[in-house]
Structure 1
Amino acid sequence: MSRHFYSCPLRWSDMDAFGHVNNAVFISYLEEARIDFMFRLAPGDGSPSFSGGSVVARHEIDYKRPLVHRHEPVTIESWVTKINAASLTIAYEIKDEGQVYVRASTVVVPYDLAAGRPRRITEEERMYLLKYLDDDATGTNKSAEDAEDKDALAA
């Protein structure tokens, strides 16, 4: 399985009164990474894939550590955990240098803007997404994640 890597700069305005990146800002970070990932297939080679539109059906976010402003960007890794006929699930980790700040997932539904309704994933899109499909299709390594959570709580 491949992962998509997106380098996301932090802005001073992303911080809240407590001195760390506001929880709502992480949704924007995920959006930037998701758009970069999904539109890699479409515009450059003339393919209409994903360019017709998509909607977010669901977000899940686990905040692991506070992220404070700095000049270096964070890395957002994205991969696919599920492909259905008319939706897909993208998983993410926002991290740097071994620190995971956020683990998240988004259910995305391809959307036909002209018809005003959801549409099925095309074969071309499916082939692209399969390159990023998680090998065990669970999205994360639960034992490693659980151990990290215990370490973070103990600190």
Structure 2
Amino acid sequence: MKLVHTSVMPVRWGDMDAFGHVNNTVYFRYMEQARIEWMASFMDLSQPATVAPVLVNAQCDFLRSLKYPDQIEVAMYIATPGRSSFETHYEIFRLGEQKILCAQGKGKVVWVDSILEKSVPLPESVLAQFK
């Protein structure tokens, strides 16, 4: 795996649930934010596209809880690409006096032609990220 992006962000008050910790669904948003920031570094995401990345699965192991006002770091890695897809891996850390691993996740991204509803080969701009 190759580390391609690191994102630091605050835990927001609204990220917490009634039990006083970050809701499990929000961890997927943290991973999404890191993934979008990484893609925006080499793609123009401001324009609609008929060929675009689609997240086809996502998984997360919750190791420790996060709470407001934690600061977190999301480290994003990519694994060897296939013809039209690649896996992403994430580590979510709580920052502070110590950097503590709180969650690990992964997902599969597939490039899809939205008109044909079929996968297409990864663009050169994406393949260049694996070098």
The structure that is strand-richer by fraction is 2
Moved more, 1-10 or 57-66: 1-10
**What's the TM-score, normalizing by structure 1?**
0.72
Q: CA deviation at 1:25?
A: 0.9
RMSD (Å), alpha carbons:
2.2
Moved more, 116-125 or 54-63: 116-125
Q: How does 1:102-117 map to 2 (within 5 A)?
A: 102-117=103-118
Query: What's the CA shift string for 1:10-69, capped at 9, x where partnerless?
Result: 21111011111000111111111111112210129xxx9x99421111112111101111
1:26 corresponds to: 27
**What's the TM-score, normalizing by structure 2?**
0.84
2:77 corresponds to: 79
Q: Secondary structure at 1:82's aligned position in 2? A: coil
The structure that is helix-richer by fraction is 1
Q: How does 1:1-155 map to 2 (within 5 A)?
A: 1-43=2-44, 52-70=51-69, 72-95=70-93, 96=95, 97-128=98-129, 130-131=130-131
Q: Which runs of 5+ in 2 are unaligned?
A: none
Q: Secondary structure at 1:61's aligned position in 2? A: strand
Larger Rg: 1
Give the count of matched residue pairs: 125
Q: Which runs of 5+ in 1 are unaligned?
A: 132-155
